Structure 1
């Protein structure tokens, strides 16, 4: 037991380079291991696994409880006095002793994944934060129930033998990520955000678990939507600014150096502005840019940093800098993951780690406040489509499809300078291509499905698959408008499955903790009380955030076409990455491995190389699976031996 536990925790040294600990109760058959990235209470009193003062509870915990000092005051008022240190881990244990686990979690404001052993009931409880900032995997491996912050910890167990989940491959080809509760492995799962899982003495090897929620976004929306009495705009704006300021202030709590990612966009600029407003010294900010000017936003961030007076660091990445990262991606992400912005996210995390141990970000604002373009143009498309006969839709789709995205760019870019700012888009041809793919949609949800899907029919590519999983959830709250339904689906799918996975793995891969003030659940709940016109106004998203940011940053430093956090991968695949990609996509190799039909992949690769189409997203999905599978091959061969 000890050797397995040591081997499993050793795989997570990057998540916790400062300390490690093991705790084993052989009689009960429970073993807990921990790696620590010390943020609060750097003394030995913060060591984990940590036992409660009574000895009943033993805890391992990854994350931060931002209101733990307020919780300590509440506990003190109730008579609790057994403090040894100042860590939030000890605060949690005291609260478990006084209030129980579920009530404690509901009182917490923070991000976390944790495992709590109750020595009295002999019950293990796993819990994950409300929005899914911190990861938690679990499953049976033989007769052992295993869990950990990353899949590599589970794979390190000597009885590991999980097979590959082909449904998960289909999801990754469609979405670029594998949505919870599934993973790339059969029988291994992600604990969903806001959920608990109890392992009782009655659990038998191989049994399935019913998880339960302690906080539910759909339940909250269902209980509050259309029942809020709205205040006027100045009051709503002031209330949100107060909430965000408090969230930022609490998330600046740290015993180690702290800074922020700054892209120069609305989200990160607002977070940094609120940080600087509450700091007595310049906030450390970080951004990266590219030598390719069309992808370079470093100048915007530099101007915002200069205006706010931050201590700014930027790094201009060359193609070599970015491509050197690619071999590390399968190890970082543990399962196929193909959001291309994983590359710049890792670059900026590496940059920040040279100066700080904690970095705040603007993640979550797009999903909560209507920041993605699809929230306004998808509804406009549907309004027009539903009145058009099918033959007209098909004809229009065929007309638009005669030119690929690059050809449309060449036609449309010269016209963009004549358009108002809010109507300009980076890569207009790609936007037009996506719009054309929605023309045969049968419902608003079908438009969303088509917009978020890379491979539209992954069952035609993944061998041994009859039907690919549908990305549309079944628990969408009633009464939401089409844009609100898209925002809900992104907040419960794309945000935890893609954005937060990307940020957590890249940052923790360099031992950097990230925090997202927009994901404070009080901000999330407030956002869902706001009427849609305060989020999307005159074709412009995040409208209320813009009103707040106006207090800190001149509008002319922020207003510009949205570029996204991209890389020029389409060109790299034709040049610097061509040999690497051709090796992974070789038809003979694909046939031998048996996961993909080589024909559609070979056709897209041929068209991409010829420059007639830009298939970077679809090819990157396959390449990231192939790179991951290649990395897994030694493990698979060892198991077979």
Structure 2
């Protein structure tokens, strides 16, 4: 786990400047740093830099940039190639001098070319420079576990694991991409390929970018839609067969993620996913696995007692930390420093705290991320299934309400909320993203000018008739990499901690696509097969309960200790000078919310989520733009 940055540029960037860019990510790699600049063809310079968090081969032999023995290839790399030992067996003709996975990337490229990426099972962001072909490649892992930003400035390319190095480049223009803001306020994150800045992009998960002589070409080597349909050609319908195979794949995924030359532990919330990952790790460990959980003094947010029960049953070496609101509030100011792009998923705060706790004892932590998206765990999936069953009736209701005379009466607006949602859900591209109409309206009204739609109008591209499956695929493309994995990456790297996700193993993901959907969901039983595997390790009584998750009392904060700050942020004079938001509408809405909890007259809705998105954007703006 590290941070990388660099450039391919005709602009004069010195080694000192490259080092300054690199050092903005010191938290991602406090153990070592390396920067080099090479002369390319046609007046280009190639700069490569890395901050290293030493996990495999702690010796100086793992230093980056790393070069091929013949000097043809140079690489900087962030992440882990979990099957590097297997690949190394196939690459014995290469004269290895280290025991780290970075050198396997070089050897694999020399043997198989850029198609070597298809053989890698891991989480990674890679920059590879081939002097022979003059190609510079940027590569991001299949599901987007590791971040990779890039800026296109004329014929120049600048890249980094975070935005800070790019912002540090001399001559960088901080021009906000306004069209993403309404969607950000609603979704609470900015999904790839967009970023907050113009001319700066996130390389999408499963993608390769090639820069050659000023020309950029980008393609997908692993695409969720394509892989899903390919895997469906070899369906698995037998439950016991699927359970046995998935269990074996999960065991292999956990075991290869336990390979490290530094202390390793696991996040343990007491839910199905983290408990299962911990149980498998404990089954393969010669000593008690170190587990970590956060407890909340407010009982309705607290899952620590469940995690403790699971830890006691498994026999792990468990550490828990109870925190109060004051400790969580203390972290609010640090959000823009480590999430250097607007990001408003408030569970980032407890995720930072559990990362801080784990880092005191370990350098690597296993997590259960991905279980909900790949095995149908979120409550929204239940709502989506019901909405599909009622869609025909909703269309009929919408048609009747649109008849002459009835339309003028505004009959549809007078329907009960749930009926109104189903009736109004007529866009075939957003069928599984219904509801929250007031939020969408207000997010659009808050920002000046036209923006992207708040929902993702892409659903027909999945070519899946089952709405539940379609929404799961959409979440894998958007919410999982854009929100969940971004949250965990920045929170863990704040404390120089590597988080590993066995459920997001390539083989596990692809096998899940082969499974008949009723193996994952049956008559309201979400994550059916994953739960059954968990029961092989942990008694059902310790796991079966409503899902809670990492909660933060946003409404209490925004209308309490953060109220003065939020009031300053929506000052009309300031908003007019800023020129981004509709000053009158935004100020009225947030002032109304702070007084009543509502976003405006007669809305009957709590707008803490939208107000928190606005708060985190203004916090980010204050840190980087003022």
Task: Provide TM-score, normalisation by structure 1.
Answer: 0.89
* 1:449 pairs with one of 433, 446, 463: 433
Following superposition, the deviation at residue 452 of structure 1 comes to: 7.7
User: Which residue of structure 1 aligns with residue 372 of structure 2?
Assistant: 366
Of stretches 187-196 and 444-453 in structure 1, the one that deviates more from structure 2 is: 444-453
User: Which residue of structure 1 aligns with residue 424 of structure 2?
Assistant: 440
Residues 237 and 516 in structure 2, CA contact (< 8 A), matched pair in contact too: no
Are 2:534 and 1:549 aligned? Answer: yes
* 2:98 pairs with one of 85, 96, 101: 85
User: Which residue of structure 2 aligns with residue 232 of structure 1?
Assistant: 238
Following superposition, the deviation at residue 331 of structure 1 comes to: 1.4
Following superposition, the deviation at residue 171 of structure 1 comes to: 2.0
Question: For 2:265 and 2:530, how far apart are their aligned partners in 1?
Answer: 21
Which whole-Å deviations, capped at 9, do the CAs of 1:231-252 have from their partners, x for residues lacking one?
Answer: 5211110100000000000011
Matched ranges for 1:128-277 at <5 A: 128-141=140-153, 144-203=156-215, 209-225=216-232, 227-277=233-283
Are 2:68 and 1:52 aligned? Answer: yes
User: Which residue of structure 2 aligns with residue 627 of structure 1?
Assistant: 619
Residues 78 and 124 in structure 2, CA contact (< 8 A), matched pair in contact too: yes
Following superposition, the deviation at residue 256 of structure 1 comes to: 0.5
Question: For 2:460 and 2:194, how far apart are their aligned partners in 1?
Answer: 17
Are 2:123 and 1:111 aligned? Answer: yes
Query: Cα distance 1:459–1:119, how it changes in 2: closer, same or farther (>3 A)?
Result: same
Query: Cα distance 1:375–1:474, how it changes in 2: closer, same or farther (>3 A)?
Result: closer
Question: For 1:107 and 1:60, how far apart are their aligned partners in 2?
Answer: 18
Question: For 2:506 and 2:414, how far apart are their aligned partners in 1?
Answer: 45
* 1:17 pairs with one of 30, 37, 44: 30
Which whole-Å deviations, capped at 9, do the CAs of 1:428-483 have from their partners, x for residues lacking one?
Answer: xxxx8xx8645521156534333588831333221022553651326733244110
Residues 231 and 510 in structure 2, CA contact (< 8 A), matched pair in contact too: no
Are 2:325 and 1:319 aligned? Answer: yes
User: Which residue of structure 2 aligns with residue 510 of structure 1?
Assistant: 495
Following superposition, the deviation at residue 379 of structure 1 comes to: 2.0
Task: Provide TM-score, normalisation by structure 2.
Answer: 0.91
Residues 175 and 454 in structure 1, CA contact (< 8 A), matched pair in contact too: no
Following superposition, the deviation at residue 276 of structure 1 comes to: 0.5
Following superposition, the deviation at residue 512 of structure 1 comes to: 0.6
Following superposition, the deviation at residue 224 of structure 1 comes to: 3.0
Unaligned 5+ residue runs, structure 2? 1-13, 403-409, 599-604
* 2:90 pairs with one of 49, 74, 79: 74
Query: Cα distance 1:46–1:367, how it changes in 2: closer, same or farther (>3 A)?
Result: same
Which whole-Å deviations, capped at 9, do the CAs of 1:187-210 have from their partners, x for residues lacking one?
Answer: 10000111111110243xxxxx33
Question: Helix, strand or coil for the counterpart of 2:430?
Answer: helix
Query: Cα distance 1:236–1:27, how it changes in 2: closer, same or farther (>3 A)?
Result: closer
Question: Helix, strand or coil for the counterpart of 1:446?
Answer: coil
Following superposition, the deviation at residue 286 of structure 1 comes to: 0.8
Question: For 1:257 and 1:399, how far apart are their aligned partners in 2?
Answer: 58
User: Which residue of structure 2 aligns with residue 305 of structure 1?
Assistant: 311
Of stretches 265-274 and 573-582 in structure 1, the one that deviates more from structure 2 is: 573-582
CA RMSD of aligned residues (A): 2.0
Unaligned 5+ residue runs, structure 1? 204-208, 402-431, 635-641
